[in-house]
Amino acid sequence: MTSLLDIRATSPRNWKYIAEGGSSIVFSYTGPPHPSFDDMALRLRKALLSSPSRLVSPSSLTLQVEDPEDPAIAFQREVVARVLPAEYLLRLEAVEVSHAWLEELAALTEERRPTERRAKGAIDVHKRRAVLTRDLVDGRVFTVEIKPKWGFLPSPTHLAPDTASVKTTTCRFCMHAHTRGVLDADVAQAYCPLDLFSGEEVRVRQALHALWDAWVSTSGMANSLRIFVQGQTVRPDASPLSIQPLASQLGLPDEFTLFTVRDAFVSQVLPLLLETSLLRILSNLQSTLDPLDIEGLSLLWSRANPSREPLQTQSPDDGAPSAPPLGSGLSDPTIDDWKQFLGIYLAKNSQMDHDHPDIADLKYYCLAYLLSATFKDCSIMFRIPEDGRGSISVIDLDIKPIDRLQKWEKLDREIVEVYKNAWKPRQCVAVGSGY
């Protein structure tokens, strides 16, 4: 009945743990030659650890048994591929997996996973489908993964007076990094996405230096930058020997330092970032899909649900019974909802009066915000062969569930509250002049 590939044609021992994000884990095929699995990577969904003994699947991502493909595949084909050029997208293929096979893989690879990731989730062994895609870290290449995050400053139109000055001065990523205590005192040296997205050589170089420095100082555990050489994740430490594979790949002589490797690394990656139009496309998608900011979306929601006061006037322990949280009552969009939404976005978004949003468009703005979040959270993979030009792909283009809206609304308020008290707000420079 189905012609799906079956992962059980391979042994779990033939799959090597590569990396993971919040919602998925990636493995590379390392087994004997196989026409369907050579040079392929397996992407598995994670289940969140809600308590020490209980794993739960995110409801919106739970697959119906009869569903012939992972929702991620339909989402990429019907939504993402209509706004991102095909050259940046990997072909995704559904593959059948089994409970026993996944459990064996999990048992074999669990100890390779970072401790902090293990505390939050694990392979969802109840899935029956997974995604097979091209392995971007195999062979004689080095691969750079950058998670660029938010590449725009919001329009002040719908911001409250006391948040507008903060949000239009410091970008969302820098505010969030500050509240998480990630930034040290030397804020000016830290990574700002607006530099990476700027298209200006000096600023892009500065962003790469900042990403590199954070990569070194966190032993490669910061998730904004990952480097893989010939299938292995490079984990830097204080010793230059830790990055010997990268130095060799970059053609450096035996005598090298962290700084000479950094410079060689930046020399390889900088031209790719300056030449590609991908960052401009991503920034444009992020901002045009989020024209109101979460504050404006919250105000629109409150107008449509008059029993609810805008969030900023509520007490910190909000949650009065009569106040439906942002997005509550809305179902997770189906693929048909997404197709309909995208038709309107492509035809009308640029002509809509976002300064005066219509309550009738509330669902449109909610879906737009969700899709914006997909592009705010994706990663870019630069695959750089020893003797040729690199290729660029976008990965981690996940569907965001609708119940995230209320979490993002709360998080936004918390971040801005903390950041208002920053002793020295960072002056992030808007993207624009470089394009």
Give the integer Cα–Cα distance in Å for 309 and 314: 7
Asked if 174 touches Zn ion (CB under 5 A), the answer is: yes
Tally of residues, the chain:
435
**Interface with Zn ion by CB under 5 A: which range of 252-260, 268-276, 395-403, 427-435?**
427-435
> Could you say whether residue 395 binds Zn ion (CB under 5 A)?
no
Closest to 69 (Cα-Cα) out of 89, 95, 46: 95
CB nearer to Zn ion: pick between 208 and 428: 428
Asked if 171 interacts with Zn ion (CB under 5 A), we say: yes
The set of residues, in sequence order, having a beta carbon less than 8 Å from that of 394 and lying 6+ positions away, is: 84, 88, 89, 278, 282, 378, 379, 380, 381
Pick between residue 11 and residue 169 the one whose CB is nearest to Zn ion.
169
Closer residue to Zn ion, CB minimum distance, 55 or 418: 418
Q: Single out the residue of 381, 394, 399, 428 in contact with Zn ion (rule: CB under 5 A).
A: 428
Residue nearer to Zn ion on the CB measure, 169 or 314: 169
The footprint of Zn ion on this chain (CB under 5 A) covers a number of residues equal to 4
User: How near is the Cβ of 375 to Zn ion at its closest, in Å?
Assistant: 17
The DSSP H or E segment spanning 50 is: strand 40-51
Give the rounded distance of the alpha carbon of 325 from its chain centre: 25
247-270 as b/e: b if 16+ CB within 10 A: bebbebeeebebeebbbbbbebbe
CB-nearer residue toward Zn ion: 61 or 174: 174
Instruction: Show the tokens assigned to 90.
Output: 């990997």
Strand boundaries in 255-390, DSSP class E: 379-385
Within residues 66-95, the interface with Zn ion by CB under 5 A covers none
The interface region with Zn ion, picked from 64-72, 149-157, 189-197, 311-319 by CB under 5 A, is 189-197
Task: Identify which of 429, 383, 416 has the alpha carbon closest to the alpha carbon of residue 249.
Answer: 383
CA atoms of 413 and 406, how far apart (whole Å)? 11
Nearer to Zn ion, 169 or 233 (CB): 169
User: Pairing relation of β-strands 5-6 and 93-96?
Assistant: parallel
CB of 207 to Zn ion, least distance (A): 10
Sole window of 59-67, 164-172, 348-356, 374-382 interacting with Zn ion (rule: CB under 5 A) = 164-172
User: Is the Cβ of residue 58 or residue 148 nearer to Zn ion in the bound state?
Assistant: 148
DSSP type of residue 96: E
DSSP run (H or E) holding 93: strand 93-96
Q: How far is the CB of 174 from Zn ion (least distance, A)?
A: 3
Which range, of 166-174, 201-209, 299-307, 370-378, touches Zn ion by CB under 5 A? Answer: 166-174
- Do residues 14 and 31 make contact, with C-beta atoms less than 8 angstroms apart? yes
Kindly state whether residue 42 participates in binding Zn ion, applying the rule CB under 5 A: no
- Which one among 122, 192, 243, 395 touches Zn ion, defined by CB under 5 A? 192
Question: Do 181 and 422 touch, CB atoms closer than 8 A?
Answer: no
Q: Which is nearer to Zn ion, 150 or 256 (CB)?
A: 150
Binding-site ranges for Zn ion (CB under 5 A)? 171, 174, 192, 428
